Amino acid sequence: MKRCAKSMLQNKEHWNTIILDGSIPDKDIECMIAESYDLISDNPTKRIYEAVKKIPKGKVATYGQIAELAGDKRMARAVGNALHKNPDPDSIPCFRVVNSKGELAGEFAFGGAGEQEKLLIADGIEVTDGRVDLKRYQWDTSGHDVITIFSTIL
């Protein structure tokens, strides 16, 4: 989404006055409405899915990493819950998320025993005894933070 002009962002508390007096072009009003919608529709699950979408092919992330990128490093369990309910597995590659030891999810995930392993192997990631070598395959998120990951929704 394109960002509104800086002057618009500074005047959010006065938007109804600006809109009603007719002094703002329609394109700026549309931008402000879109930003308002993004602000009120933001939620932890949406942020989790957006973070998972950013995991590069051939890399994995831990539940804790995704929680931190989604804005709260204490919500690793919420990451697991959200991924278990993944509404779009083709776009949200939850199979790339493992626990802090590199262990894969249980048999109930991804359609049965061995499915996550098959997906990871197809992604170019070696799996040994139900575990991924995090030193080799863990996504380096040091250049990322909540702002850069979510620049498309904030």
21-35, pLDDT tens digit by residue? 677 787 877 777 766
Same domain, 138 and 124: yes
Q: Among residues 32, 67, 83, 94, which one is catalytic?
A: 94
What does the pLDDT read at residue 23? Answer: 76
Same domain, 33 and 60: no
Residue (of 49, 148, 33) closest to 97 by Cα position: 49
Same domain, 66 and 131: yes
Residue (of 73, 112, 75, 78) closest to 95 by Cα position: 112
Range of the domain at 11: 6-41
Same domain, 60 and 27: no
Residue 137: pLDDT band by 50, 70, 90 thresholds? Answer: very high
Give the integer Cα–Cα distance in Å for 123 and 56.
10
Query: Residue 103: beta bridge partners?
Result: 131
Active site residue 31: no
Same domain, 24 and 55: no
Whole-model pTM?
0.69
Max mean pLDDT among 39-48, 109-118, 134-143 falls in: 134-143
Residue 147: pLDDT band by 50, 70, 90 thresholds? Answer: very low
Rounded to 5°, the CA angle 138-144-145 comes to 120
CB 44 within 8 A of CB 71: yes
